Structure formats: structure tokens, C-alpha cells
Amino acid sequence: MSQQCATRYPLVLVPGMLGFIRLVLYPYWYGIVSALRRRGAVVVAVKVSPLHSSEVRGEQLLVQIQDILRQTGAGKVNLIGHSQGALTARYAAARRPDLVASVTSVAGPNHGSELADYLRIHYPSDRAKGRLLKALLWLINALMNLLETGYRGPKLPVDIQASHESLTTTGVALFNEHYPQGLPDTWGGQGPEEVDGVRYYSWSGILQPGRTDRGRNLFDGTNRSCRLFARTFVREAGQCDGMVGRFSSHLGTVIGDDYPLDHFDIVNQSLGLVGRGAEPVRLFVEHAQRLKAAGV
């Protein structure tokens, strides 16, 4: 077996909103976990509350980190979070930097999501449209729980309103006041590479006409959803992946922010149906090599 991705500490993959480990045989991190393991990495995909605040999810993640450390004998972990999973990982690292070697944000809304802002304005929770959206999310989560085969822990709490507010620009601004580690000082800039002994990294993508709407994305319904969601963006119009803006994603060392990847492509969803020239699995493999070279 190759050891090119054999990092010093385990890689812990943290999913975003409505995240899971595996639905029947279908994994969240499609093709990514197997690619890393073939190259010598110790990889653990975890599950936290699919619909809840980043702080509650972060506390759940801390419990699982300690379990992973006991099981592996490692001293720390490398956290890689997709979407809200990035905020979840940031919380854990800020609270217990002694347990975390690095945090990597993959399409993380580190300054909030304009899509979440749009939904708060146009689908308020006290109106019929808002209640309908909340019911739809509850049903999706219930169905996914029935199909989940990768998680064997305790029942996870759900708070749809808290989940939504945690992703708005206002909600994330409040989060950032308490947990600023790794954030850039200027909009669109890079953050510090290391804070409290924890290394911070990020990468993200943007919708690119002629690339992200071509190739296998022609058969991927999630890409169509992202192109629709992108219409809600104002500040980062034309510079988003459908759910997260390019500069809003910045954290620590910015590896790249304009890959031809929508918000689902970036974790090789759905079923590896991605746009022309996109190689999301390669980004994870290269990052594991980067972490290994950094000694973590």
C-alpha cells in the first residue's frame, strides 16, 4: 500500500447540513475516503446533528474526537469539514486546540451564506412558506435517518431554526466574534496559517458557465439546484458555488477559491457526476500529502 497520504494524525471528515456517513451503501464522501485509505491515510467519517447550530454540532464532534483518539492512540486529529462542517470543525478546534492539529474548510460559509439570508427574508419561520420549508427539511432528515447505515451512535437532536440561523451572515458574524481563529483580517484575504498550534486551510469552487454546467453535471440534479440557488447571491453574484460565496469561504491558507466545482461537486457528489475538468478527489489526496509534509 502507498503511504503518500499517511499523515501523522487521523483525518476526520465532518459533513455539512443534512450530512450523513452512508445512506444504505451510498457514502457522503463519495470516492474520497477510499482514495485516501489506499494511499495510507487513517480516515474517519463522522456524523453530527444534520440540522442544528454549529456550536451544538461542535460539542458532538468533540465527543467523537476523544473517542477516535482513544481508539487510534493518536494525540490529535486533522479536521476536514464541508460546508457547515467547516464551522463545526472550527468550533471544536477553538474549544480544544490541544486535540486538533489542523482544520480544513471545504466550501465552508466562514462569513455566512447569502442563500441562507435569502431564505430568512423570503421564507420566514412564522409564515406559511417558512413552515412548509421547515416541514420539508424535517421529512428529508427523517428519511435520511431511516437510510443511514454508517452511524451507530446516540440519537442526534434536531433544531431546524438554529441550523438556519447558524448559516446566515448575521449568525456566522456572531459565531466569528467568539471563534475567530484562522479568519482573514480583510475581505477576500488569507488568514493566519497557524493559531494556538492549529493549522488552518481552505478551498472552494465557483460556478463557471461552460465548465460546471457541462460534462457529467448535465446528468446531476444537484448542479441544477446550485445554479438556481446562485441567483439569490448579490454581494458575490457570479462568484459562488450555489450555496457559498468565493470570498466568504476563506480561512487560513487559501489553497484555491475558484475551482470549477459547485457546492456538491466539491465532495464528489452526486455519484462522482462533476463538471468538465473537475477532480475533487485529487484535491483531498493532494491535501493529505500537504498535511503529511507539514508533519501533522
CATH of the domain at 265: 3.40.50.1820
Of these residues, 213, 241, 262, 265, which one is catalytic? Answer: 241
The whole-number pLDDT of residue 126 equals: 85
In a domain, 117, yes or no: yes
What is the C-alpha separation between 143 and 78, in angstroms, rounded?
Answer: 30
The whole-number pLDDT of residue 174 equals: 98
The whole-number pLDDT of residue 130 equals: 87
The whole-number pLDDT of residue 293 equals: 97
In a domain, 3, yes or no: no
The whole-number pLDDT of residue 75 equals: 96
Each residue's pLDDT tens digit in the chain (296 positions)? 689 999 999 999 999 999 999 999 999 999 999 999 999 999 999 999 999 999 999 999 999 999 999 999 999 999 999 999 999 999 999 999 999 999 999 999 999 999 999 999 999 888 898 899 999 999 999 999 999 999 998 999 999 999 999 999 999 999 999 999 999 999 999 999 999 999 999 999 999 999 999 999 999 999 999 999 999 999 999 999 999 999 999 999 999 999 999 999 999 999 999 988 899 999 999 999 999 999 99
Residue 105 among the catalytic residues:
no
What is the C-alpha separation between 216 and 220, in angstroms, rounded?
Answer: 7
The whole-number pLDDT of residue 102 equals: 98
In a domain, 2, yes or no: no
Q: At residue 127, what is the residue type?
A: R
Give yes or no for a contact between 258 and 252, defined as CB atoms under 8 angstroms apart. Answer: no
The whole-number pLDDT of residue 108 equals: 98
User: Helix crossing, 169-178 with 160-167: angle to 10°?
Assistant: 80
Single pTM value for the model: 0.96
Give yes or no for a contact between 265 and 147, defined as CB atoms under 8 angstroms apart. Answer: no
In a domain, 269, yes or no: yes
The whole-number pLDDT of residue 21 equals: 96
Owning domain of residue 120:
11-293
Report the number of distinct structural domains present in the chain.
Answer: 1
In a domain, 203, yes or no: yes
Residue 220 among the catalytic residues:
no
| Residue 284: C-alpha distances to residues 33, 39, 159, 255, 294 (Å) | 9, 11, 31, 11, 15
What is the C-alpha separation between 169 and 266, in angstroms, rounded?
Answer: 22
> Cell triple for residue 64?
467523537
**Residues in CB range of 127: below 8 A, 6 or more apart:** none
Of these residues, 52, 82, 111, 263, which one is catalytic? Answer: 263
What is the C-alpha separation between 192 and 251, in angstroms, rounded?
Answer: 8
Residue 83 among the catalytic residues:
yes
Categorise residue 189: left if φ over 0, alpha if ψ from -120 to 50, beta otherwise: beta
CB burial of 246-280 (b: ≥16 within 10 Å; e: otherwise) equals bbbbbbbbbbebebbbbbbbbbbbbeebbbeebeb
The whole-number pLDDT of residue 198 equals: 98
In a domain, 202, yes or no: yes
Query: Within 13 Å and on the Cβ side, how many CA atoms surround 246?
Result: 19
Of these residues, 53, 83, 248, 270, which one is catalytic? Answer: 83
Which residues does residue 103 pair with via DSSP β-bridges, in sequence order? 79, 200
The whole-number pLDDT of residue 58 equals: 98
In a domain, 1, yes or no: no
The whole-number pLDDT of residue 57 equals: 98
**Measured torsion, CA atoms of residues 267, 145, 11, 200, in degrees rounded to the nearest 10:** 70
In a domain, 58, yes or no: yes
